[in-house]
Amino acid sequence: MSHFLLAFLGSLFAGLIIALIDAKFRKPETAFEHATARPFHHPILLRVSAFVVAATWIALLCLVVSMVLGIFLIIPSFGAAFLWAAGATVGLALIYTPLAFTLYCQSCRRHLLVQWTTEPPFAEKQHGLNGWSAIILRVLMRKSFRCMYCGQRYVG
């Protein structure tokens, strides 16, 4: 079977899974979009999570750059750079995952940094990012952010 066909079937399967998850998603019954902004209960853990995600994005960028340079320039040293970047990306993602499942919204009790639907009802955009990644960016920029599920606003 060709790689193209495998990639095509994989993307169809991924799309089906995302559609099933979106269909299963239920909005919280109570929205807190007009509630008073409140301080987040684990600010240090939230900032650490945001910095880990930023480091993961940088490692991912290094991974792509080393892969492109390795393919087009065919320089053996880029292979080592690729392995370092891949290891850093996977390692940082393994650190981030338990953090993301630890942090939750105090109003609706849903995970703040785990996006269970493609269109969360109260997602805010920030520099072209949306959902959990926009929350990460707003935390890094020391701006207030909103729970993407219930709308509760939190101050840094």
**Cα of 8 vs its chain's centroid, Å:** 24
Residue with Cβ nearer Zn ion (61 or 119): 119
Long-range contacts of 127-136 (CB under 8 A, 24+ apart): 132/100, 133/53, 136/49, 136/50, 136/53, 136/54
Residue with Cβ nearer Zn ion (11 or 30): 30
Residue with Cβ nearer Zn ion (70 or 156): 156
Interface residues with Zn ion (CB under 5 A)?
105, 107-108, 147, 149-150, 152
Residue with Cβ nearer Zn ion (84 or 116): 116
Which helix H or strand E contains 39, and what residues bound it?
strand 38-39
Name the percent of the chain in helix, strand, coil, to the closest 5.
55, 5, 40
Report, in Å, the least distance between residue 36 CB and Zn ion.
14
Report, in Å, the least distance between residue 47 CB and Zn ion.
19
Q: Is 123 within 8 Å of 137 (Cβ atoms)? A: no
**Cα of 74 vs its chain's centroid, Å:** 32
Report, in Å, the least distance between residue 49 CB and Zn ion.
16
The tokens describing 70, both together, are 């390795």
Residue with Cβ nearer Zn ion (60 or 103): 103
Report, in Å, the least distance between residue 59 CB and Zn ion.
29
Report, in Å, the least distance between residue 32 CB and Zn ion.
6
